[in-house]
Structure 1
Amino acid sequence: MTTSDQPRSVRRPRVVMLVGNFIDGDSRVQKEARSAAEAGWDTYLVGRSRSGKREESAFGEVTILRPAESMAATKYRTYHPRRSGVSGLIAYSTIELGKVKHQRQRIRQSNLAVERELLARRSADGLNPASKLVDEAVLAAKSLGVKAAGYWISARKQALDHNYNIVQESPSTSLEQLMVRRGGEGAVWNAQPRLVDFEDSFGRAADELEPDLIHANDAEMLGVAVRAAARARAKGRTVKVIYDAHEFFAGDTRDNPTWAPAMAAQESKYLPLADAVMSPIEGYASSMVELHGIEKFPGRRPPVLVKNMPALADLAASGDDVPGVRGALGLADDVPLLVHPGSVTKVRGLQTVVEALPDLEGVHAALLVGRRDGFVAELVAMAEKLGVSDRFHLLDYVPSEELTAYLRSATIGIDTLLHIPLHELTITTKFWSYISAGLPVVASDVKATSELTRELGNGEVYTADDAKAFAEAVRKVLADPAAYTKAYTEDTLRRYSWEGQAETMLELYREVTGKP
């Protein structure tokens, strides 16, 4: 009998953590799962499968489950672009149909040449003049029909291509955006079909595992968790739900115009059925209370803050001889090195770093990235154009439990967020990693991060998106790094570690479930 098949009466309390990513690069959910397992919970971490097939593995005492995923709804949406207007009326309904029609038209055109040769052959063999005239007329009419069909097929194919390109640039129509903001479930599922796919795979996994608690990470898992708990209650089982809100969607400005309103709609609908709310950012928590009126829900306490801080145990286990980022680049100890681990997008502001490097003679910058295309490639091209490509480096991600030790050999940790509403509330995970690694920081003047930097005195703040101001801040820190790192007392390091945060999370587990 496997662990998941054990009777509920004889097994340990079970928590199923749902997360709509591939788990590998998500330090928060990994630490949450590891802490829950160490505290005695039978812990399953459920995430996406890169192969699309069911995968199961161990992560210490945690079972990682990646259910089989067809992603049928997402694929259908991708290959069935729907638009309004004339192009929406005449376009082929699918890319595959457009290809088939185009292929058949090419064959018809080729076949006309064959029929002309056959007519010529029959004429040479003595076809009578009257029959020849009739056959030529029929062939001419067929040629005109094929030509006309070609224009029509081309127009429909061009309309399809036009629709597809528009969908890539603007995934949703104005009407669809309006319907999503109104919170209609059908509109939300049409605009964000991955929610349907997640329910199909993650919902089945939640049913199979029969948990006592579902820990839903991010809004795309909230509906999955609430529905699974409702199905369990219908069968006489009690399942509690904790919603872990990693983002505040009312301030989200990402490219997909329906993502943030769809997620806000999910929160608005399903939050009343969640038993508790967690959040890593104080600004998110207070904003959610205001947006959704959480304090009005019967018996509901305000969101509990569980910040995504590095684990001191990981740093202690790594020892002091980790070559880290400096060793990976082969840089001497006296070479100034700026480091930035994590997502690289335009709103992260890293173009400011590249633009500042020409004014920072001898200073190197390293980004830890998960992929090297897209905006990362744009930054590489920018560095080449500015003549600083020899001082601008890309390195691969390292496991989350090794990150703090890996960063420790750098000179300065940088946090370059641009001003968007979401960033004003955010203190990034990397900022906590810089503290644990003992690095001084250079941070942009977004509200939460700049306030904490000034409070701790562990770095300099510069005006976001201003390369000259960034360079000046770097020079100030390089002039006397010790003046900033003296802020890192033992008390500070303990206060900003995962160990204290994990106890807050586990206490919430106990409070919600009544399980010791």
Structure 2
Amino acid sequence: MGDRGGGSEGEASEADEGADAPHVGIVVYGDLDARSGGFLYDRRLADHLAARGWTVEVVSLPERSYRRSLLTNLAPGLVDRLERFDVVVEDAYCGPSLFLANRRVGTPVVALVHYLRSAVVGEAVGDRAVRAIERDYLRTADAYVFNSRPTREAVAELCGVDDTGEQPPFPGIVAPPAGDRLGTAPALSGDRLTRDPFRVVAVGNVTPRKGITTLIRGLSLLDDGIDWRLRVVGDVGVAPEHVASLRALADRRGVADRVAFAGRVDDDALREELRSAHLLAVPSRYEPFGIVYLEGMAFGLPAIASANGGASDFVGDHNGALVPPDDAEAVADAVGPLARDRDRLRRLSEGARETFREHPTWEETCGRVRRFLRGIVEGETGEGPDAAVGSGNSHE
């Protein structure tokens, strides 16, 4: 376990928990500080709680193959470790390693749900065994923090009814992640708006789930009058065979000279990529939330986003478009009008910036989760969106 203590002296003035600040365990795979994606949420929350006087310990579980991860439930001392805390926050991605252990834990367990294996389209993760384990894990939680309303709805649908024929309760809050990590730029205007070629940027580790295959196919369907370029920014070493297939696809489609793979870049270089683009497009097979869409919107980029996942909470025809998984024609239909009509692109760019401005910051999101967790520790109940529950464990 890594101990984050109670925050620095400069942060102490913001602490609102006093001497009775709770002791919270945050359960993740591997090293929290070295993770990206959804684990950024876990890291932000850990830092926020520590800065406000909470004693935060990170319970690091070994990340193994799916089948081997099931054995973690039997690891000596795991249940005792979780029993030490006032409340346990578990990244739900770790569910395969916890669904049996949680049944023996008396401490309130809060599942932080930002990814569902069973929701991924086109990958062998939706079989009955995986769905059953994910459902069983989610039913062991006492309360939930969801990254979006679609995630909450997906959990309710997945869990269905329990053995008694009743819909299990899902006490919790929706607390979306923020997209304010990289800074901002104004909405598209002037030369940045009108220059050619039309520049599309895709950001994320280059894996099959990210839908770059669909993106290249969609862009290749655009009429010859549209001069476009695609920059794919993200780690190409995670799935090198897939990257090779993308290069081959671009070659077959006759667009290899329009598609560039920038690889993994630092934040300064990523900011420049966003400032140089007209549009951000990540038509994933499944995107649990899509922080990258918000990060692009902060730079005035409309988003072509996955319709499967949490992006529907904030992406729409006012700031981009939602496209179904693996639908290249939908990508072409979304991109073409923006490339041809720069006034329309400008309006969506302004809508994107407005969406970003109205979206909660990390400080606001983590503060909401902190209040929710405090209510659980104190055994409070309520009906509002920030209501906490403390009605005892449901692990039997």
Structure 2 length-normalised TM:
0.69
1:90-239, aligned counterparts within 5 Å? 192-197=67-72, 200=75, 204=78, 207=81, 210-221=84-95, 224=98, 227=101, 230=104, 239=107
CA offset at residue 217 of structure 1?
Answer: 0.7
What's the secondary structure of 2:36's corresponding residue?
A: coil
What's the secondary structure of 1:352's corresponding residue?
A: helix
Of 297, 307, 310, which aligns to 1:435? 297
Aligned to 1:43: 56
CA displacement 1:19-68 (0-9 Å, x = unmatched) = 235542233323232333333323334446xxxxxxxxxxxxxxxxxx6x
Which runs of 5 or more structure 2 residues have no equivalent in the other structure?
Answer: 7-17, 187-193, 381-396
CA spacing shift, 1:377–1:45, aligned 2, 3 Å = farther
CA contact (8 A) 2:294 2:356 kept: no
- Tell me whether 1:274 sits opposite 2:148 in the alignment: no
- Tell me whether 1:25 sits opposite 2:36 in the alignment: yes
CA spacing shift, 1:22–1:350, aligned 2, 3 Å = farther
Of 214, 232, 241, which aligns to 2:109? 241
Tell me, in whole angstroms, the C-alpha distance in 2 between the residues paired with 1:406 and 1:417. Answer: 20
Aligned to 1:308: 177
One-letter amino acid of the counterpart of residue 25, structure 1: S
- Tell me whether 1:363 sits opposite 2:231 in the alignment: no
Tell me, in whole angstroms, the C-alpha distance in 1 between the residues paired with 2:93 and 2:141. Answer: 12
CA offset at residue 205 of structure 1?
Answer: 9.9
CA offset at residue 405 of structure 1?
Answer: 7.7
Question: Which structure has greater helix proportion?
Answer: 1
CA displacement 1:431-476 (0-9 Å, x = unmatched) = 2322233211234665875685435x11245676454553453232
Bigger relative contact order (CA 8 A; separation at least 6): 2
Tell me, in whole angstroms, the C-alpha distance in 2 between the residues paired with 1:306 and 1:415. Answer: 22
CA spacing shift, 1:464–1:208, aligned 2, 3 Å = closer
CA offset at residue 224 of structure 1?
Answer: 2.9
Tell me, in whole angstroms, the C-alpha distance in 1 between the residues paired with 2:157 and 2:218. Answer: 39
- Tell me whether 1:34 sits opposite 2:47 in the alignment: yes
One-letter amino acid of the counterpart of residue 309, structure 1: A
Aligned length: 346
1:322-337, aligned counterparts within 5 Å? 335-337=197-199
Tell me, in whole angstroms, the C-alpha distance in 1 between the residues paired with 2:312 and 2:19. Answer: 50
Tell me, in whole angstroms, the C-alpha distance in 1 between the residues paired with 2:85 and 2:313. Answer: 41
CA contact (8 A) 1:250 1:264 kept: yes
CA displacement 1:210-229 (0-9 Å, x = unmatched) = 33322111253475387379
CA contact (8 A) 2:234 2:265 kept: no
Which runs of 5 or more structure 1 residues have no equivalent in the other structure?
Answer: 49-66, 75-190, 234-238, 322-331
CA contact (8 A) 1:195 1:220 kept: no
What's the secondary structure of 1:193's corresponding residue?
A: helix
Of 191, 202, 206, which aligns to 1:340? 202
CA offset at residue 276 of structure 1?
Answer: 0.7
CA contact (8 A) 1:315 1:402 kept: no
Tell me, in whole angstroms, the C-alpha distance in 1 between the residues paired with 2:233 and 2:48. Answer: 26
- Tell me whether 1:511 sits opposite 2:375 in the alignment: yes
CA contact (8 A) 2:143 2:172 kept: yes
- From the CA coordinates, give the structure whose radius of gyration is larger: 1
Aligned to 1:470: 331
CA offset at residue 200 of structure 1?
Answer: 3.2
Aligned to 2:261: 394
Q: Give % identity.
A: 21
CA contact (8 A) 2:139 2:159 kept: no
CA spacing shift, 1:396–1:243, aligned 2, 3 Å = same
One-letter amino acid of the counterpart of residue 290, structure 2: T
CA RMSD for the aligned pairs?
Answer: 4.4
What's the secondary structure of 1:510's corresponding residue?
A: helix
Of 357, 362, 366, which aligns to 1:493? 357
One-letter amino acid of the counterpart of residue 192, structure 1: R
CA contact (8 A) 1:370 1:397 kept: yes
CA contact (8 A) 1:403 1:433 kept: no
CA contact (8 A) 1:404 1:434 kept: no
CA displacement 1:245-293 (0-9 Å, x = unmatched) = 2234554456446x75444333444445422112213122123224435
What's the secondary structure of 2:98's corresponding residue?
A: helix
Tell me, in whole angstroms, the C-alpha distance in 2 between the residues paired with 1:368 and 1:248. Answer: 24
CA contact (8 A) 1:356 1:467 kept: yes
CA contact (8 A) 1:216 1:225 kept: no
Range that drifts further, 431-440 or 390-399: 390-399
